Amino acid sequence: MITFVNRFAFKEMLNSKNAESSNPLISTKLAYVSISDTEHEKEEVELLFSETDIDKELYITTQFPDNESGIPSDEAQRLVDFIKAHPDKDFIVHCFMGISRSGAVAKFINEYYDMNDVILNTYTGYNRQVYNSLNAVIGKDIASYYAELEKADKGCWSE
């Protein structure tokens, strides 16, 4: 299961600081992805995490804007490494509005683990640059696709 929410819902969840038995959104069965717009917002979420019972290995905080530039490649790599490290977890992903960047990460997770979530399979509100940047890390981007086509084409036409 993947849930993506806005910043305010995420902060409210963390502010509750309740243990797993009281708050189902604080659980060792979950991995958390926090996407902030600014370094200040990122530090604020990191402080909230530090005040919970959530293990540091179960969350990642990152910061990048919601625009056409996507996500820096080093941050994309960190996110993919985090996602790969938690194959047995459900995910809660947040960004400011809970639509575009978090939607892109949620869609990526859904496809990476072949979760076949009906909503995410057809979700179109995601940031395509973020989604493409994450796919580029695993070699599933348009350039890799065309490179594979060229290799296959060369194999077909060789004598």
* Average of per-residue pLDDT values in the chain: 82
Rounded Cα gap, residues 48 and 11, in angstroms: 8
What's 20's domain CATH number?
3.90.190
The confidence score (pLDDT) of residue 152 equals 63
Structural domain tally of the chain?
1
Question: Averaged over 14-40, what is the pLDDT?
Answer: 75
For 120-131, the pLDDT digits (tens) are 888 888 988 899
Most confidently modeled range among 9-13, 22-26, 49-53, 79-83: 79-83
pLDDT tens digits, 84-141? 999 999 998 988 787 789 899 999 999 999 898 888 888 888 988 899 889 988 877 6
pTM of the model: 0.80
90, 109, 153 from 31: Cα distances, Å = 6, 11, 41
Structural domain span for residue 82: 2-157
